[in-house]
Amino acid sequence: MQKRHFLHATALAMAALASGHAGAQDNRFKIGFILPMTGPQASTGRQIEAGAKLFLAEHGDTVAGRKVEMIVKDDTSLPDVNKRLAQQLIVSDQVNVLAGFGITPAALATAPLATQSKTPMVIMSAATSSITEASPYIVRTSMTLAQISSVMGDWAPRNGAKRVVSLVTDYAPGYDAEKFFKEHLTQNGGEVIESLRVPLRNPDFAPYLQKVRDLKPDALFVFVPSGAGAAVVKQFLERGMDKAGIRLIGTGDLADDDQLNDMGDGALGVVTSFNYSMAHPSALNKKFVDAFLKANKGMRPNFQAVAAYDGMRVIYEALKTTKGQGGGDALLAAMKGQAFESPRGPMSIDPQTRDVVQNIYLRKVEKQGGEYYNVEFDTRKDVKDPGKAK
């Protein structure tokens, strides 16, 4: 078949789906997850799949008369692959909702397909502010780097970190982290003396850290995507930067609950701002953590597992509200404005922006009972994403 014809057929299939013809007799309600299950972001895929499966196991697979089915595809973090898989899921599998999305470029590649096919797309990891503006069918349950970094920018200069170097991964969420941290640090009397960016693929932190050591700032502020934090901490320590009096601060991706036990004593005292800690002191979180550990042979849940767990709740509630009918527009309307208690604390979906509103916590790494935790010591309540275009 010629490419032109294929594209035409695809457009027709999408139009049929959007108008609700296809799959009308099908009792199944399919959620198509596109995740990095292999490659450098594989921990993201593992966490999200496990978080979503736990919700399903706890709440059952029947909602408003529909049988919920999860389909999981591996995009290996490549945007083109993500888009191709999304196309397959929409056209061949006829999914009702797309979910997952590990990194920003993958989410952005697929956003136009959500719009064309009117398929709700629930973002459970990717955290650049602009993602929700890329399609009116996008809802996010994870976080934004602007939301997290602005809180750290406010805190750091009031707590002894005035001259700071920032080090971020060289792509969209890193730019958001760099910008909002700097803006808030500066407003509070601090100064970013150097802004460094490291590549997303195969980063070697050594030359950057050497530069930081020479600059002798009060603190190094770091954003790296989930999975890369342990390497930064290890190399920071290997260079003796802690002993040189440089503090390590960052977004919570750095002190990822999934990796924290591998970092050891070197991570003690690292302060980060974030939306979730597995040590969050609530009855609901304790129940979540215990169930997650039990279901996953001791794998510790991180913020992405919680975003997936909560994302499933948002989908389930929308399906109930629409009495199992579940067209894209109706589901989306029912997702907007949802508010509930998450294992992270209270959260809601902003009806205007479709982005998550949540508490942001300041946390410090501590050792308790032989394990390492991000222990929360301060809270900024109900933080909206400050990174939306005005």
| Residues in touch with ligand PHB (CB under 6 A) | 103-104, 125-128, 173, 225-226, 253
Shortest CB 384 distance to ligand PHB, Å: 18
For residue 38, the tally of other CB atoms under 10 A from its CB is 12
Nearer to ligand PHB, 52 or 68 (CB): 52
Shortest CB 67 distance to ligand PHB, Å: 31
- The residues facing 33 across adjacent strands are 72, 99
Nearer to ligand PHB, 125 or 147 (CB): 125
Nearer to ligand PHB, 173 or 343 (CB): 173
Shortest CB 19 distance to ligand PHB, Å: 33
How far lies 268's CA from each of 235, 262, 265, 369, in Å?
15, 12, 5, 14
CB 47 within 8 A of CB 304: yes
Shortest CB 148 distance to ligand PHB, Å: 9
Shortest CB 226 distance to ligand PHB, Å: 4
Nearer to ligand PHB, 47 or 96 (CB): 47
Shortest CB 253 distance to ligand PHB, Å: 4
Q: How many CA atoms lie within 13 A of 329 on its CB side?
A: 5
CA dist 299 and 34 (Å) reads: 21
- The residues facing 72 across adjacent strands are 33
Write the DSSP symbol of residue 306.
H
Nearer to ligand PHB, 257 or 376 (CB): 257
Nearer to ligand PHB, 153 or 250 (CB): 250
Q: Which long-range contacts (CB under 8 A, 24 or more apart) does 52-56 make?
A: 52/99, 52/124, 52/308, 52/309, 52/311, 52/312, 53/295, 54/288, 54/291, 54/292, 54/295, 54/305, 54/309, 55/308, 55/309, 55/312, 55/313, 55/316, 56/312
CA dist 234 and 340 (Å) reads: 38
Shortest CB 35 distance to ligand PHB, Å: 12
CA dist 134 and 115 (Å) reads: 9
CA dist 17 and 66 (Å) reads: 18
Nearer to ligand PHB, 144 or 322 (CB): 144
